[in-house]
Amino acid sequence: MKQILFLILLLCIIRTDHVHAQNPNSRIDSVLPVRGLAIEAPEKDGMDLFLRFIEEKLLSVTS
């Protein structure tokens, strides 16, 4: 009996995930939102490259 209930539950989970994944209007960030980002502090020599990355790539995504 437990095995049958487990199989039914497993099939329900797989079925709903499949339907949600096939929806073209769903965005991945609504399912797995990014809450933060950890970046190691750069050395002195790489500071301008780091700041350019922040300004050009990260700020353009959040705008």
Per-residue model confidence (pLDDT) at position 45: 93
pTM: 0.40
Spatial separation of the C-alpha atoms in residues 55 and 48, rounded to whole Å: 10
pLDDT for 49 beyond 80: yes
Whether pLDDT at 19 is above 50: no
Tell me the torsion sign for CA atoms 39, 60, 63, 23.
negative
Residues in the chain: 63
Per-residue pLDDT band for 29 (boundaries 50, 70, 90) equals: low
| Tokens read off for 41 | 């502090």
Apex 62 CA angle, 59 and 63, nearest 5: 85
User: Regarding predicted confidence, which is higher, 48 or 16?
Assistant: 48
pLDDT at 6: 85
Residue pair 17/9 in contact (Cβ under 8 Å)? The answer is no
